[in-house]
Structure 1
Amino acid sequence: MKVAVVTGGSRGIGRSLVEGFVDAGYKVVVGARNDSGISEVSDQIRFEAVDVSNEDAHRHLVDTAKTWGGKLDVYVNNAGFSEWRPLEAIDEPFFDTMIDVNLKGAFWGCKAAAAAMPQGGSLINISSLAGKRGSANNSMYVASKFGMNGLTQSLAKELGPKAIRVNALCPVLVRTPGLVEALEMEWSPAKGKPDEFLKTFTAGNAALGWLPRGEDVAAMAVFLASEAASAITGQCINVDCGVFPQ
């Protein structure tokens, strides 16, 4: 049985990722601040409380995967958060938290996993469409995700000789509790009306007429971790229902 680690896997897209890997036959170590009931989904799941901005936390998740599951095949850096703020409202604590969680957390995860993975391992970073284009009142989140995409491309070159593949997924707006909370804030493009905003955004931007769900992101992650994707590395793949064709 293959073994995966998913950070931020207790809710939202992360929970969908965990369920997707379990359905694909993996044992999954979930690293997050709170369990949120994820460990009750299956006996193939083990929860560990961690702060992803801490390098030692990722080493702990890797060690857990190896002792509990016997090995480490896949490491998914999913933990992150979104919040809109205009330039004048960004202070150092906000700057540091956004970078620590979204970018530093992914870097430490890649570093810890790469040191423990055998040839054929897969690193997957859950980025965002915001990692490919900027938007108003979103400079810090955008910067963190551009950084994640750059990290993905660089490590694909660096770890390729070890046969470790590194890819990123770039979803557009996926309706999760975290996204709704962010859209309800005063500086978001929804202006506190998430349902109205998502409906309008979908109608005006999504080629398919709908926006992706967490399970759509999970399906692509499971594919990227599989042997069927053995020739794919260094890619930042949109999961966006045609919002940003490339």
Structure 2
Amino acid sequence: MTKTVIITGGSKGIGRSLTEGFAAAGYKVVVGARNDSGISEVDPDNIRFVQCDVQNEADHRRLLDAAMDWTGQLDVYINNAGFSAWRPISDIDGEFFDDMMAVNLKGAFFGCKIASEGLRKGGVIINISSLAGKRGTANNSMYVATKFGMNGMTQALAKELGPRGIRINALCPVLVRTPGLMEALAVEGSPAKGDPEAFLAGFAARDAALGFLPEGEDVAAMAVFLASEQARAISGQCINVDSGVLPG
């Protein structure tokens, strides 16, 4: 039986890899994002785009309605939309604080809320978190706070939704090369110090046990597994996709 997945922020970066991975696995994919970025053209029969802003609870409901109108069911909901930005605490103002909390944490929270209304027994929620949800780094306090919050929310909802047969897990990738990451690394205050390419190469060699950093396809493969029946006993976990960076 064909399954249906909703993926927020699924038109670019890690989200695009998730969309392509689930479509390849035979899912009908509803992509919610601000911009299409050509994602519908990847597989027009199995991918549908719905414009949305994850900060708005009503937009998550629109995604659920789109899935139900298309296939009559929802099996998986992936909260992927988010952004990273390094900024020292002295430069963090109310606008920056509110924007990051609204997209990274509020957006995921309302995704979980609406998903919990549409998912049946056996349904799955996956939150795309970060290794930053497990350890703090300099000039990254706001992003770290949102991802620690996402991981805690995942654990709490696993207990709340588990009795209904709904599983929820988080994935915690380390630095995955995407346009968004490269843009974030290019700003003053990031650990790249003006040279993102050299930073990523050095980080992989120094901190990754495997000597390389994961790609979006690696995150997608783990998400497809977590959505499958083979992962039926896995819930409330925040799973690293980090090439062995943590522990370390």
Matches within 5 A, 1:78-227: 78-227=80-229
Deviations along 1:190-227, whole A, 9 cap, x unmatched? 01210000011111100001000000000000000000
Is 1:15 aligned to 2:44, yes or no? no
Question: Matched residue of 1:51: which SS?
Answer: coil
Give distance in 1, aligned partners of 2:226 and 2:187.
34
Which stretch shows the higher mean deviation, 167-176 or 65-74? Answer: 65-74
Count of residue pairs the alignment pairs up: 246
Match of 1:45 in 2: 47
Q: In the TM superposition, what are the counterparts of 1:222-241 in structure 2 within 5 Å?
A: 222-241=224-243
User: What is the identity, as a one-letter code, of the residue corresponding to 1:7?
Assistant: T
> How far is 1:245 from its partner?
3.1
Alpha-carbon shift at residue 2 of structure 1 (Å): 0.1
Unaligned stretches of 5+ residues in structure 2: none
Amino acid at match of 1:26: Y
- The SS at the match of 1:60 is helix
SS in structure 2 at match of 1:119: coil
Q: 2:122 is paired with a residue of what secondary structure?
A: coil
Amino acid at match of 1:123: I
Q: What TM-score do you get using the length of structure 2 for normalisation?
A: 0.98
Structure 1 residue ranges without an equivalent (≥5): none
C-alpha separation in 1, matches of 2:175 and 2:194? 15
In structure 2, what residue type is equivalent to 1:222? V
The CA distance in 1 between the partners of 2:86 and 2:234, in whole Å, is: 33
SS at match of 1:102: helix
The residue number in structure 1 matching 2:35 is 34
Q: Distance in 1 between matches of 2:39 and 2:32?
A: 11
User: What CA RMSD, in Å, does the superposition of the two structures yield over aligned residues?
Assistant: 0.7
Task: Determine the structure 1 residue equivalent to 2:69.
Answer: 67
Counterpart CA distance in 2 for 1:82 and 1:69 is: 33
Q: Tell me which residue corresponds to 1:24.
A: 25
4+ long deviations beyond 2 Å: none
Amino acid in the other structure paired with 1:88: S
**Matched-pair identity in %:** 71
Structure 1: distance between partners of 2:228 and 2:214: 21
